[in-house]
């Protein structure tokens, strides 16, 4: 402990906290280890382990697979398509969609979650305090079956950078899995609602929290931490789905053995080869507090037996404090789900200057790229925060194309020979100056809000932002459990004045097909169906259905609060198709409303408040699930 505030680290208190939280973690962990051996009857089908969907531009493409009408993970399938083969609701009748029933969560923070439908039960997880509700779809109005309320430390709200959101749960083998804000992963008996296990995997006193939805692959629950604005060290961990015990943990920074880099690691580009790059691309010890968290999306290719996950921004934001490429932050890993071993890596933003977390969704497609006639490739499509839609070869990690989908000033493209992002020297952030008109802004051209892909149209439907910013680098003091950012930011609308858009993108051709401007960032997820209808929500509260081919608006409904949730569709026990969405504004973009921030300070909420000053006039907080059906 130092007497003055100029010290950079508080070793004493940090150790104290570590000890205390370790003890707590152990106690909770032990308590959570008692497994319940309950087997429920009427066990729903396991998640479809189907291979990646084939792109529509591919000749001789197989017809869309049969849809069982369930929704077992937020992205619908391992390829993360958010595509449903249900087609009762289609372009001809969607205009008649009506609310069928609603459910209030009684929670006024941002609802970024996706409901799940397993058999005849719907499951929703609320933002902090992360209550799980099970709703009975066999009864009129879908009454509550049970609720599960884990003990979650309220202090965790202090280390959640961007509202206390939760992005949903995942179902596998009779259990619902999800994460709590204070860093626990829980498994709940899907039938009876009892806790099966609960494991503390993160530590709020280091600034860690968890907001992501887990993915379950081959009996492993994959979970990553949040806290890139708190100087945490990012990781992805696998828990045994039966016992909740940690099977492996892969860090995003540090020596190879911690990153699970071994002989099987074969990155495509030479800049990613070498020993312990997670140490040598940082100033001494900076990797220990260097970020690279994993709060976003994971995809899985069962054929290649590879999972794909991004890594978030390096910390602190002020890049002058961390010269070097800062590996393995702001990139993407392919890993073996059984062991966690890294197989390849690619870095979207080496030495990231703008908080471009690389954790967005990875859509796995078999695609025939334009100009490569008759040659299908296993690709991974990634609409990335830095403004480009990347198409990678998902076997090797080679960049096949990278085209901008918004106005970009922060870089000058991607060099397809070296794979490197081409820097824009005039937009370099750091100490002692304010850089203006940096586009995209810190939340990126597209933040976490997941897109959807239809094999029928061959288009990727992306809800996204159109924001630019001014940034000023300032001092950053590392004090465990408090923010470690070192930048003042203010954001504003990009060219055109619309702060968001919903864009249909042809990944094979690398260009937009249509785009609908939105006054506010399009912060909800997208859903597309075999009825060729695409759904998303707006921050004012409109839930919209567009024609997947043309982008023409076919229907909209004004919900009670701004929408930042993930739409899903399912077939009810009555055989009817339903569409469900959370309403409930918040998140980083909506914190001005959900947390009642003061618009007079443009730097509030990491500068997002400056761009959202008028949102409080457009919507009010309040979480509600809406479910729609045809009459």
Partner 1 sequence: MRRLATGLCALALTFAALACEREERRFQTLPAKSARAQPVRLTTLQPGQSLPARSGHGPYDENAWAISEGERLFNQYNCSGCHFHGGGGIGPPLMDAKWIYGSDPQNIYDTIVEGRPNGMPSYGGHVPDDQIWKIEAYVRTLSGLAPKAAEPDRSDQMEARRSEQATSPAAPRGQKAEHPQ
- Residue 382 contacts residue 349 (beta carbons within 8 Å): no
**Gap between the Cα atoms of 37 and 512, Å rounded:** 51
- 477 near ligand HEC, judged by CB under 6 A: no
Q: CB nearer to ligand HEC: give 90 or 482.
A: 482
- Residue 561 contacts residue 555 (beta carbons within 8 Å): no
Residues 318-337 as x/- pattern, contact with ligand HEC by CB under 6 A: --------------------
Instruction: Give the residue, chosen from 17, 102, 158, 557, that forms a contact with ligand HEC under the rule CB under 6 A.
Output: 158
Beta bridge partners of 381: 363, 391
- 312 near partner 1, judged by CB under 8 A: no
- 10 near partner 1, judged by CB under 8 A: yes
Active site residue 195: no
Instruction: Give the residue, chosen from 79, 117, 554, 605, that forms a contact with partner 1 under the rule CB under 8 A.
Output: 605
Distances in Å between the Cα of 239 and the Cα atoms of 44, 148, 200, 535 are 22, 20, 11, 33
Cβ at position 226, least distance to ligand HEC in Å = 13
- Residue 204, preceding peptide bond in cis (omega within 30° of 0): no
Active site residue 229: yes
- 3-class state of residue 382 by DSSP: strand
- 209 near ligand HEC, judged by CB under 6 A: no
Stretch that binds partner 1, among 31-39, 148-156, 353-361, 545-553 (CB under 8 A): 148-156
- 99 near partner 1, judged by CB under 8 A: no
Neighbouring CB atoms inside 10 A of 24's CB total 15
Residues 452-481 that bind partner 1 (CB under 8 A): 470, 472, 474-475, 477, 479, 481
- Residue 307 contacts residue 335 (beta carbons within 8 Å): yes
- 603 near partner 1, judged by CB under 8 A: yes
- Residue 606 contacts residue 485 (beta carbons within 8 Å): yes
Catalytic residue among 189, 203, 229, 361: 229
What are the backbone angles phi and psi of residue 322, rounded to the nearest 5°?
-140, 65
Q: What angle do CA 141, 142, 145 make, to 5 degrees?
A: 140
Residues 489-528 as x/- pattern, contact with partner 1 by CB under 8 A: xx--------------------------------------
Residues 6 or more apart from 510 whose CB is under 8 A from it? 370, 389, 391, 401, 403
DSSP secondary structure code for residue 161 in this structure: B
- 482 near ligand HEC, judged by CB under 6 A: yes
Burial of 578 (0-12, 13-18, 19+ CB in 10 A): buried
Q: CB nearer to partner 1: give 75 or 485.
A: 485
Q: CB nearer to ligand HEC: give 482 or 488.
A: 482
Active site residue 610: no
Partner interacting with residue 475 (select from partner 1, ligand HEC, none; CB below 5-8 Å by kind): partner 1
- 157 near ligand HEC, judged by CB under 6 A: yes
Cβ at position 158, least distance to ligand HEC in Å = 4
Burial of 92 (0-12, 13-18, 19+ CB in 10 A): exposed
- 405 near partner 1, judged by CB under 8 A: no
Helix (H) or strand (E) holding 32: helix 11-33
Q: Give first-to-last CA distance, the chain, whole Å.
A: 66
Query: Which residues contact partner 1 by CB under 8 A?
Result: 1, 3, 5-6, 10, 13, 154-161, 229, 434, 436, 470, 472, 474-475, 477, 479, 481-485, 488-490, 591, 595-606, 609-610
Just list the catalytic residues: 229, 313, 355
Contacting residues toward ligand HEC, per CB under 6 A = 157-158, 482
């Amino acid at each position: 402990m130092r007497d003055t505030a100029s010290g950079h680290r508080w070793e004493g208190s940090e150790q104290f906290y570590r000890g205390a939280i370790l003890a707590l973690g152990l106690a909770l962990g032990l308590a959570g280890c008692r497994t319940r051996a309950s087997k429920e009857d009427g066990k729903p089908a396991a998640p479809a382990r189907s291979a990646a969907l084939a792109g529509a531009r591919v000749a001789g493409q197989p017809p869309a697979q049969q849809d069982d009408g369930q929704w077992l993970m937020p992205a619908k399938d391992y390829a993360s398509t958010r595509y449903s083969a249900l087609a009762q609701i289609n372009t001809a009748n969607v205009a008649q969609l009506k609310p069928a029933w609603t459910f209030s969560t009684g929670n006024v923070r941002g609802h970024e979650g996706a409901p799940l439908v397993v058999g005849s039960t719907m499951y929703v997880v609320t933002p902090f305090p992360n209550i799980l509700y099970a709703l009975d779809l066999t009864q009129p109005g879908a009454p509550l079956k049970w609720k599960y309320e884990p003990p979650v430390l309220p202090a965790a709200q202090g280390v959640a950078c961007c509202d206390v959101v939760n992005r949903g749960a995942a179902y596998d083998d009779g259990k619902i899995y999800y994460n709590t804000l204070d860093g626990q992963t829980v498994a709940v008996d899907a039938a009876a609602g009892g806790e099966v296990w609960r494991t503390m995997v993160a530590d709020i006193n280091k600034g860690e929290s968890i907001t992501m939805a887990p993915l379950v692959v081959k009996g492993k629950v994959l979970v990553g931490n949040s806290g890139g604005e708190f100087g945490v060290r990012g990781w992805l961990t696998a828990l045994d789905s039966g016992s909740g015990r940690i099977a492996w943990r892969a860090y995003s920074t540090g020596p190879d053995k911690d990153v699970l880099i071994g002989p099987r690691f074969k990155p495509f580009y030479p800049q990613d080869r070498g020993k312990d790059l997670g140490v040598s691309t940082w100033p001494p010890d900076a990797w220990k507090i260097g970020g690279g968290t994993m709060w976003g999306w994971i995809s899985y290719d069962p054929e290649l037996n590879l999972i794909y996950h991004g890594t978030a921004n390096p910390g602190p934001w002020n890049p002058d404090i961390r010269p070097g490429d800062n590996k393995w932050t702001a990139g993407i890993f392919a890993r073996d789900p059984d062991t966690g071993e890294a197989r390849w890596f690619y870095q979207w933003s080496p030495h990231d200057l703008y908080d471009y977390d690389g954790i967005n969704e990875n859509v796995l497609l078999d695609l025939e790229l334009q100009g490569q006639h008759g040659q299908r490739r296993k690709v991974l499509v990634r609409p990335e925060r830095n403004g480009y839609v990347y198409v990678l070869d998902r076997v090797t990690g080679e960049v096949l194309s990278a085209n901008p989908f918004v106005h970009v000033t922060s870089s000058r493209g991607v060099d397809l020979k070296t794979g490197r992002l081409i820097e824009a020297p005039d937009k370099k952030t750091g100490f002692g100056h304010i850089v203006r008109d940096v586009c995209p802004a810190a939340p990126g051209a597209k933040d976490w809000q997941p897109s959807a892909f239809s094999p029928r149209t061959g288009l990727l439907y992306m809800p996204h932002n159109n924001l630019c910013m001014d940034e000023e680098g300032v001092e950053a003091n590392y004090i465990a459990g408090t923010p470690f950012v070192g930048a003042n930011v203010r954001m504003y609308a990009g060219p055109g004045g619309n702060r968001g858009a919903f864009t249909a993108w042809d990944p094979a051709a690398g260009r937009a097909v249509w785009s609908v401007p939105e006054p506010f960032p399009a912060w909800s997820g997208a859903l597309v169906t075999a009825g060729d209808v695409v759904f998303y929500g707006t921050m004012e509260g409109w839930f919209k259905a567009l024609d997947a081919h043309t982008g023409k608006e076919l229907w909209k409904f004004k919900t009670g609060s701004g929408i930042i949730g993930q739409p899903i569709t399912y077939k009810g026990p009555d055989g009817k198709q339903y569409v469900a969405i959370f309403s409930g504004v918040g998140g980083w973009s909506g914190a001005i409303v959900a947390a009642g921030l003061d618009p007079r300070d443009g730097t509030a909420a990491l500068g997002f408040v400056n761009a959202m000053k008028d949102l409080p006039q457009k919507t009010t907080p309040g979480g509600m699930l809406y479910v729609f059906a045809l009459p």
